[in-house]
Amino acid sequence: MGVEKFGPVRVGLLGVGTVGGGSFDVLARNQAEITRRVGRRIEITRIADLDTERAERVAAGRAQVTGDAYEVVRDPQIDIVIELVGGYRIAKDLVLAAIDNGKHVVTANKALLAVHGNEIFEAAQRKGVMVAFEAAVAGGIPIVKAVREGLSANRIEWVAGIINGTTNFILSEMRDKGMSFDAALAEAQRLGYAEADPTFDIEGVDAAHKATILASLAFGIPVSFDKCYVEGITRLQAEDIRYAEQLGYRIKLLGITRRRDEPGGPRGVELRVHPTLIPAARLIANVEGAMNAVWVRGDAVGDTMYYGKGAGAEPTASAVVADLVDVARMLTADPDNRVPHLAFQTESLAADLPILPIEDVHTAYYLRLRVADEPGVLADITRILADARISIDAVLQREPARGEAETDIVLLTHRTIEKQANAAIARIEALPSVLTKVTRIRLEDLD
């Protein structure tokens, strides 16, 4: 082909499950277009997978198959290694071995980068190789590129995203069909959205891995997964979704990272994943099913939102193959002048911009209280909130069900500092007329 200025780039693929198979197919199907984009062919010439029969089926004679990933990682013919093994331990050893052997790496492994990213990027920097990871955050949505390159003129203020499709599907089912959490989870598993062990999804860990990476890209800080506040959706009750709806809100599992530097307040970065009330009119509140969306605010651009599939064979392959294209284009660029892994020059990663503890987070709240239906209850509660200087935005109280002497009170508050909310909630829970622990869900207007 006339556009080919160089010989082919040779790629070794580690792990040929859903995304690996998808990447092989997308690259083969769009080979001509991709070659026109890059100026040279990108060829997956080797595949490693413990299941060599599966690998042979995918390769169909077009790539050499092995059961030993280290053979590929050490192969002098290979320029780029795609790591789709997943998990922390074996994947980390393979990625570090690939880097050590001078290979560029493309990975979809958010857990690996959120936990060991600093070590991996440092090793890559030392060796002058690239580690590309578009597929690690929100699957097919090019959010890494958007934050790292498209928005590089901006001082980013915050990023808020629906970055786990499984939990968004569950929450959509609970709201649309009035399903319980357990029934919605079973449906997600039946449709293949949730893993057989869905813990990382429903406990918010997968979203926290992605939010951690986004925080580093947005604010130029080292990856700090251990400082991310993580709360999943397993304790959400169907009635909270209903009450939120009556008040004009939807509940979404958001990954939020926000710069904080208001005068007199703490200076740092909020990094948190938790169920969040969002006004129903916001675009992001209407992202349904297994779709992902990431909302980014920059000081120059204002609000931007990115929407698409966060998982699945070809959507994720779209990101993996785009990374191959990026790496292939950059192979001839001086390593010191490539796009930095975490958007900012390594030596400028801001260790002085700490992740703030959850107690310092500034947010509003939905509070649901189970109370005895007797005089003065609401007055006692509002007095405690007033003493804590927490302003109430809305109140919803249901009539007690027939024959019952207790009911729910739902309050929406204005923003406050979390430790003040904690103290007020503890005082409210100590009231004799408050019958159970207070249900607290954070609320973000995103305005």
Q: Where along the sequence are the contacts to ligand HSE (CB under 6 A)?
A: 164-166, 201, 206, 310-311
Paired with 104 in beta bridges are 80
Q: Is 403 exposed, middle or buried (0-12, 13-18, 19+ CB in 10 A)?
A: exposed
CB 117, min distance to ligand HSE, A: 16
Q: How many residues does the structure list for the chain?
A: 447
Residues ≥6 apart with Cβ < 8 Å to 262:
none
Q: Which of residues 309 and 341 has its CB atom nearest to ligand HSE in the complex?
A: 309
The residue written with tokens 């922390």 in the block is 88
Q: Which of residues 65 and 223 has its CB atom nearest to ligand HSE in the complex?
A: 223
User: How far, in Å, are 44, 275, 367 from residue 61 at the CA level?
Assistant: 12, 47, 60
The residue written with tokens 């918010």 in the block is 204
Catalytic position from the list 110, 210, 252, 309: 210
CB 222, min distance to ligand HSE, A: 22
Q: Which of residues 206 and 314 has its CB atom nearest to ligand HSE in the complex?
A: 206
CB 441, min distance to ligand HSE, A: 21
CB 148, min distance to ligand HSE, A: 19
3-state SS class at 366: strand
Label each residue of 259-328 as H, E or C: EECCCCCCCEEEEEEEEEEEECCCHHHHCCCCEEEEEEEECCCEEEEEEEECCCHHHHHHHHHHHHHHHH
* DSSP, residue by residue, 12-48: EEE--SHHHHHHHHHHHHTHHHHHHHHSS-EEEEEEE
Strand (E) or helix (H) holding 411: strand 406-413
Q: Is 373 exposed, middle or buried (0-12, 13-18, 19+ CB in 10 A)?
A: middle
CB 123, min distance to ligand HSE, A: 24
Q: How far apart are CA 388 and CA 194, in angstroms?
A: 41
Q: Are 317 and 19 in contact (CB under 8 A)?
A: yes
* DSSP, residue by residue, 138-198: TTTS-HHHIIIIITTTS-EEEEEEE--HHHHHHHHHHHHH---HHHHHHHHHHTT-S-SS-
Q: Which of residues 75 and 206 has its CB atom nearest to ligand HSE in the complex?
A: 206
Q: Which of residues 21 and 220 has its CB atom nearest to ligand HSE in the complex?
A: 21
CB 164, min distance to ligand HSE, A: 4
Strand (E) or helix (H) holding 201: helix 199-202
Does the annotation count 210 as an active-site position?
A: yes
Q: Which of residues 319 and 356 has its CB atom nearest to ligand HSE in the complex?
A: 319
Q: Which of residues 40 and 110 has its CB atom nearest to ligand HSE in the complex?
A: 110
Q: Which of residues 165 and 268 has its CB atom nearest to ligand HSE in the complex?
A: 165
Backbone angles phi, psi at 266, to 5 degrees: -70, 150
DSSP 8: P
Q: Long-range CB contacts (< 8 A, 24+ apart) of 185-189?
A: none
The residue written with tokens 């609970």 in the block is 174
CB 59, min distance to ligand HSE, A: 24
What are the structure tokens assigned to 341, written together? 């892994």
Backbone angles phi, psi at 274, to 5 degrees: -165, 160
Q: Which of residues 144 and 428 has its CB atom nearest to ligand HSE in the complex?
A: 144
CB 342, min distance to ligand HSE, A: 19
CB 142, min distance to ligand HSE, A: 15
Catalytic residues: 210
